[in-house]
């Protein structure tokens, strides 16, 4: 079985091709960029519709397969931004109907976790999913994945981007912020139980910069506070569940500093840190292809006319077994 998966929840239009063993035959993407770093849903959707055909062709070329040899078409059904999601869904439905292939709508956070478990060989981890729009601590419990903690406002990546825009850093600001070093400036550290909040942290960082405090000091302190908040919640999740592995997924998981902090925390409590290469940690089509194979085996195909996109779909809405890796 070979699956072609389409990702289009936000700025990335990605197409991945993956076989039943989890071998990644292709993972191609084209990411929307704007001058300001902001995203208007219409512009993102227009970008995706322009690049879709070429990204699909390129993925088939890279994998060395024809559309005929594909057994399943998967696509990101949500959560995400409505208009770009629609483009991926329409492209996937058209492919599935014309090529007469089964169609499977995939939950995007579930795909991040499943490709992470597969590639990092992590059977039953606590997953820290850190990206632009999402920040969640996820683990398997009973008949599904549950969210143990999450952001109460914006995702860690979007917090980085907001602050980055204020100081004129190019998009994406995350990798730039991650390399800055400075001296400590006190900033609000907001963890409420298992949940986190980043917007007050951004506001206070911006206020201090406007007041004339050292930009590098504020930016470095911002990253330290934000990452420490994430690590605190991840550690409490490990303690609560008594699980032994922490799996980092999402675009922000590419951060060497976040990995370093996670590594120290895991070592101190006898747990193991599991990571995946950035190309598979960020938004990509390969994770959708792989999860569509799993979903096809667990639930079978979706009827194309019943595959409207679900912009608010949560990972804990789905019954899902803990599968072998
Ligand atoms: P989602 O749709 O899941 O919310 P997304 O559209 O934000 O995801 P991702 O590719 O998962 O896309 O994540 C992008 C974020 O990752 C950006 O905010 C970017 O700045 C951040 N990022 C990438 N590399 C690093 C790094 N080295 N350090 C910190 N942040 C990083
Ligand atoms: Fe994502």
With residue 145 as reference, give the H or E element that holds it. Answer: strand 144-150
**Predicted confidence band of residue 39 (pLDDT cuts 50, 70, 90):** confident
- Is residue 116 a part of any domain in this protein? no
pLDDT of residue 38: 78
- Is residue 118 a part of any domain in this protein? no
- Is residue 267 a part of any domain in this protein? yes
**Predicted confidence band of residue 7 (pLDDT cuts 50, 70, 90):** very high
DSSP assignments along 246-314, one per residue: EEEESGGGG-HHHHHHHHHHHHHTT-EEE---HHHHSS-HHHHHHHHHHHHHHH-PBPGGG----TT--
> Ligand 2 centre and the CA of 27: distance in Å?
15
**Over the stretch 57-74, which tens digit does the pLDDT of each residue have?**
999 999 999 999 999 999
CB distance 157 to 130 below 8 Å: yes
With residue 201 as reference, give the H or E element that holds it. Answer: helix 199-210
With a cut of 90, say whether residue 272 has pLDDT above it: yes
> Ligand 2 centre and the CA of 207: distance in Å?
29
What is the CB neighbour count within 10 angstroms for residue 32? 19
| Probe residue for ligand 1, chosen from 131, 254, 313 as the CB with the greatest number of ligand atoms within 8 Å | 131
**Over the stretch 150-193, which tens digit does the pLDDT of each residue have?**
999 999 999 999 999 999 999 899 999 999 999 999 999 999 99
| Same-domain status, 46 and 16 | yes
| Same-domain status, 137 and 70 | no
- Is residue 325 a part of any domain in this protein? no
- Is residue 117 a part of any domain in this protein? no
| CATH code assigned at 303 | 3.30.420.40
| Same-domain status, 36 and 13 | yes
Of the ligands numbered here, which is closest to the C-alpha atom of 132? 1
Of the ligands numbered here, which is closest to the C-alpha atom of 219? 1
CB distance 73 to 102 below 8 Å: yes
Distance CA 248, CA 210 (A): 34
| Same-domain status, 255 and 313 | no
Number of compact structural domains in the chain:
2
Distance CA 157, CA 71 (A): 35
Across the range 105-124, mean pLDDT stands at: 98
> Ligand 2 centre and the CA of 18: distance in Å?
18
Of the ligands numbered here, which is closest to the C-alpha atom of 10? 1
Q: Which residues line ligand 1 (CB under 6 A)?
A: 9-11, 80, 131-134, 155, 157, 160-161, 172-175, 178, 250-252, 254-255, 282-283
> Ligand 1 centre and the CA of 62: distance in Å?
25
**Predicted confidence band of residue 86 (pLDDT cuts 50, 70, 90):** very high
Closest-CA residue to 83 (of 31, 176, 11, 19): 11
**Predicted confidence band of residue 35 (pLDDT cuts 50, 70, 90):** confident
Distance CA 65, CA 83 (A): 30
- pTM (two decimals): 0.97
| Same-domain status, 268 and 136 | yes
| Same-domain status, 45 and 154 | no
| Probe residue for ligand 1, chosen from 165, 172, 176, 276 as the CB with the greatest number of ligand atoms within 8 Å | 172
pLDDT of residue 310: 98
| Same-domain status, 205 and 300 | no
Contacts of 293 (CB under 8 A, 6+ apart): 1, 3, 18, 20, 72, 74
- Is residue 293 a part of any domain in this protein? yes
What is the CB neighbour count within 10 angstroms for residue 181? 10
- Is residue 322 a part of any domain in this protein? no
**Predicted confidence band of residue 36 (pLDDT cuts 50, 70, 90):** confident
With residue 239 as reference, give the H or E element that holds it. Answer: helix 215-241
**Over the stretch 206-244, which tens digit does the pLDDT of each residue have?**
999 999 999 999 999 999 999 999 999 999 999 999 999
With a cut of 90, say whether residue 34 has pLDDT above it: no
**Predicted confidence band of residue 89 (pLDDT cuts 50, 70, 90):** very high
- Nearest residue (by CA) to ligand 1, atom 5, is 132
| Same-domain status, 63 and 136 | no
Distance CA 144, CA 54 (A): 36
* Residue 255, φ and ψ in degrees, nearest 5: -70, 120
Q: Residue 229 to residues 18, 45, 234, 323: CA-CA distances in angstroms?
A: 35, 33, 9, 30
- Is residue 269 a part of any domain in this protein? yes
State the greatest distance between any 2 C-alpha atoms of the chain, in Å, as a whole number. Answer: 62
pLDDT of residue 210: 97
| Same-domain status, 9 and 58 | yes
CB distance 153 to 195 below 8 Å: no
Q: Residue 93 to residues 17, 77, 138, 250, 279: CA-CA distances in angstroms?
A: 17, 11, 30, 26, 26
| Same-domain status, 246 and 261 | yes
Exposure on the CB side of residue 151, measured as CA atoms within 13 A: 23
> Ligand 1 centre and the CA of 39: distance in Å?
14
Strands 195-196 and 191-192: antiparallel
Provide the residue range defining the domain that includes 61.
2-111+280-317
> Ligand 2 centre and the CA of 56: distance in Å?
19
The SS3 of residue 143 is coil
| Same-domain status, 133 and 258 | yes
| Same-domain status, 262 and 297 | no
């Amino acid at each position: 079985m070979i699956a072609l998966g389409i990702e289009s929840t936000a700025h990335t239009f990605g197409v991945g091709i993956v076989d039943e063993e989890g071998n990644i035959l292709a993972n191609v993407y084209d990411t929307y960029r704007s001058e300001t770093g902001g995203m208007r849903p219409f512009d993102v959707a227009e970008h995706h519709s322009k690049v879709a055909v070429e990204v699909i062709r390129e993925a088939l070329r890279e994998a060395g397969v024809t559309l005929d040899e594909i057994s399943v078409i998967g696509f990101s059904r949500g959560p995400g931004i409505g208009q770009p999601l629609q483009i991926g869904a329409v492209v996937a439905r058209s492919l599935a109907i014309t090529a007469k292939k089964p169609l499977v709508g995939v939950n995007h956070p579930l795909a991040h976790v499943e490709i992470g478990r597969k590639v990092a060989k992590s059977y039953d981890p606590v997953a820290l999913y850190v990206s632009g729009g999402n920040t969640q601590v996820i683990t398997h419990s009973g008949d599904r994945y549950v969210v143990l903690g999450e952001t109460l406002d914006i995702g860690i990546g979007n917090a980085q981007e907001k602050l980055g825009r204020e100081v004129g850093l190019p998009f994406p600001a995350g990798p730039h912020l991650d390399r800055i070093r400075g001296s400590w400036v006190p900033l609000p550290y907001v963890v409420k139980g298992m949940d986190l909040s980043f917007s007050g942290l951004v506001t206070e960082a911006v206020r201090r910069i406007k007041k004339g405090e050292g930009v590098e000091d504020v930016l470095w302190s911002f990253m330290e506070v934000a990452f420490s908040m994430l690590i605190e919640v991840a550690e409490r999740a490990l303690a609560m569940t008594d699980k032994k592995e922490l799996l980092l997924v999402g675009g922000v998981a590419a951060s060497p500093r976040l990995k370093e902090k996670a590594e120290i925390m895991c070592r101190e409590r006898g747990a193991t840190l599991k990571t995946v290469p950035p190309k598979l940690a960020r938004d990509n089509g390969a994770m959708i292809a792989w999860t569509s194979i799993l979903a096809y085996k667990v639930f079978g195909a979706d009827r194309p006319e019943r595959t409207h996109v679900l912009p608010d779909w949560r990972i804990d809405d789905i019954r899902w077994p803990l599968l072998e890796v």
